[in-house]
Amino acid sequence: MCILIHQHKARPALIYAVHQMCMVSGNWDMGDNFLEKICKYYEDWEKEHLLSEGMFWSYDNYDAIEVPYTDAIPTDYDGIMGVPISFLDKYCPEQFEIIWRSHDIDWVDSECDFFTYPSAERLAKFKKADKTWRVQIPYMVDEKDNAIMFYQRIFIKRK
């Protein structure tokens, strides 16, 4: 049984709705059963999408984790991270090495050793689905096999 649901594992609105439904109906068994299914779904999802270091996803085309904002940079991760451009406002050269920026196809083709091209089939599929999709833009694939692109990222590594 799932006793504790963290906000990162289920939408708070869904949990609230289940709680309200149980309060109105008085059927707490139904709520327990429903929450167990939610927990199982997200536990399975985490096995595929989350890194062992915590709540950071990795890109499908770069061997790097996505860090959504600079305050979320993990203190105990030594691998490559994709951070927003706003990172430059807080950049400390003694702490981080700037590797390069995303969206640069010349760099990807000549220097980037942590980039992986998608298969020709996926490349065609993503391009057909979104004319603005470019292979060098960091992306992740959702559960429906759609590419979700990210804004420009700076790739960094802790020194």
Q: What is the pLDDT of residue 106?
A: 95
| C-alpha to C-alpha distances, 67 to 29, 64, 77, 103, 135, nearest whole angstrom | 39, 9, 11, 16, 20
- The neighbouring-strand residues paired with 155 are 82, 100
pTM above 0.75, yes or no: no
Mean pLDDT in consecutive groups of 10 residues from the start of the chain, 159 residues: 37 68 83 76 62 68 89 83 92 94 93 93 93 91 86 94
Query: Who's near 54: CB < 8 A, 6+ residues apart?
Result: 74
